[in-house]
Amino acid sequence: VLRTGEPLYIPFVSPQLLAESAVDARHRVDIDTLDVGSILAVPLAARGNALGIMQLMRERRRDAFSPGDRDLAVLLAQRAAVVLDNARIAERERRIALAFQEAALPRALPRIAGLRLDVVYVPSERDAGIGGDWYDAFELRDGKLAVSIGDVAGKGVDAAVLLSSLRQA
């Protein structure tokens, strides 16, 4: 299924086919326990990328999968693959933006005699803290304290890139 990109539709699975697909004796017992009578295996692919296989099985006592079931499984797999791929892309962007965000926040604040600096960074919602905010504090040559705080509207990679540019300025 992964190699061809085509669904595998076996309306009536023979015990011999199941036995041949077993890797070892333990696997054979596990397969027999399922009492498989009909199989549909459909590729999960989106944007030209194979993501996996959706496999459906019916017990022998149930009616076999029909060609209509196969068509429905293909449609379901196409939609599920797009959802999975979108989640994968969103997670990758979130990790990139989070790396930018973490790089923008100082690891330590300066130690200045007679002054205690503390900071707590809490984004207003789960994703709001990714990519658009920064703070920093540093001592100037004349001993004065400079504090820099920024809140870039937006989130994600675009906000993180803008944050990086503004912070450096």
Q: How confident is the model at residue 10 (pLDDT cuts 50, 70, 90)?
A: very high
**Dist CA 84 CA 10 (whole Å):** 26
Q: What is the pLDDT of residue 68?
A: 95
Both tokens of residue 28?
């054979």
The model's pTM: 0.65
**What Rg value do the Cα atoms of the chain yield, rounded?**
28
Contact 45, 81 (CB under 8 A): yes
Both tokens of residue 118?
């503390």
Contact 136, 107 (CB under 8 A): no
66-76 average pLDDT score: 96
Tell me the H-state helices in 48-139.
67-104
Q: What is the pLDDT of residue 101?
A: 72
What is the rounded end-to-end Cα distance, in angstroms, of the chain? 53
**Dist CA 92 CA 86 (whole Å):** 10
Both tokens of residue 154?
């937006």
Q: What is the pLDDT of residue 21?
A: 86
pLDDT averaged over the chain? 85
> Which amino acid appears at position 127 of this protein?
D
149-155 average pLDDT score: 73
**Is pLDDT at 51 greater than 90 in this prediction?**
yes
Contact 145, 111 (CB under 8 A): no
> Which amino acid appears at position 122 of this protein?
V
Q: What is the pLDDT of residue 45?
A: 94
The counts of H helices and E strands in the chain are 4, 5
109-118 average pLDDT score: 86
